[in-house]
Every structure is written in structure tokens, then in C-alpha cells.
Structure 1
Amino acid sequence: MKSSSNVRPAIILQLGNGSYHYNYNIVEEKVEDPETGEKTVYNYDTVQVWQKPDYENLTHAVIRSEIDETEEFSLINDYYAAQLGIETDEDRKAKAVADYKAHLSRVIAIKTMVKNDLLTEGY
């Protein structure tokens, strides 16, 4: 979920109802406000988890916020069909490999981000 705030958000925010927000991709931006002049806003992504934040559940939540299991299985199946020679169309084979490689690169980036954020927050 995309979020925005005038105050820098905590990376991990306990909501008090047994859930937590994990705020990531936090970007500070200066914007012009007609009433107050320039102000700072923070744009970021948020996922909610219902257990104490750890590497596994935050990684899972972020990945699932970007791609559901059905889409991910489709990427995997298309990739293996290309690798095993079941898919014979060269354009579809190339697309399957490129799409799956991009997905794996994104997963690695998410895992690295979560690990670093947990270290920063002392989890």
C-alpha cells in the first residue's frame, strides 16, 4: 500500500492491536504548499503483519504485496517450460527467462532490504 506522511515514518510501527506496519522504500520529498511554502513529505510503501516482525514474515508480506502466488507460479512454470524445451516459441522462451530473472532479482532486493531494515531497527 502506498502511503504518505508529513512526518518520517518508523520503519516498524507497532499498532497496538497485535499487528505491525512495516514501512519501506521511504523517500523524502520537498513539495510546494500554497499556504505554507515548501514542506517535506515522505512517500513510502506499507505492509501490515499480524505477528512480531521478523525476516520471514516481512519478506513474505512484501513479496505478496507485489505479486500473488498464482502470478509467481505462472512465472516459475513458464520458466521451466522454456528450460525443459516444452515451450518452443523462441520469443516466449526469452520472455519467460527474462521475466523470471527479473522476479528473482526483485526477491533478492526485497530480502536484502528487509534484513537491513531489521538490523537498523534492532530486531
Structure 2
Amino acid sequence: MKQQQFNCPVEATLSLIGGKYKPLILWHLVDCPLHYMELQRRIPSATPKMLSQQLRDLEDSGMVHREVIPEKPPKTVYSLTAFGESIIPVIDAMCRWGTSYMDGLDVQSPCCSAGA
């Protein structure tokens, strides 16, 4: 990974997890490794191209591990690395904040119920 210069710690964090789907991918991988197709089902708004790119970025940054299982057809499984697991408290805080915000809007979402 190319060494970058950052002006503040928030910028450094966003360089790793910024992106439309990266936090969602990380959130879904907290409990268990998932096949690519399962991630696609859990994040239906992500196009296959965008999901693949975001996963590749997370892999390049060392947050996600990609394993290809040699079956017919091959399956690709993604999991958090130890470095990726270090972001869980941040993702949990985002979930709590988002839940509070959504409660104020009187909107319910089941996505954080298992992890919160």
C-alpha cells in the first residue's frame, strides 16, 4: 500500500473505510466470513462492479482477506483480518449513532439489531 500523507486522523480513517459500501461490507463481515454472492444479497444497492472494487480496496488496505475455494464453480470468501477487526468499535459506534438518528426520523431498520 502506498504511503499517504494525512492532515488529521479522521482523514486517515476515511481513506481506509470511506466509500459508499466499505462500512457496510465491514459491518456484514463482523460476525462471520461471507461468500461474494451473500455480500451481494445483503447489499443489493451495490452493483457487482462497485462491490468488487470496494472489496478489492479493502483487501489492498489489509482490512479484508479474500480466499478462493477451488470448487466447481470456484467460490470467493471474504473475512476480516486482525487489522479489519480493529475497526469494529468504529462501525459499532456508527451503528449506534445511525440507530439514534433513524429513531428520531421514526424509521426502523433491522440491520443493526444483531450487532448492536
Q: TM-score, normalised by structure 1?
A: 0.28
Q: Is the strand fraction higher in 1 or 2?
A: 1
Q: Which entry has the higher C-alpha Rg, 1 or 2?
A: 1
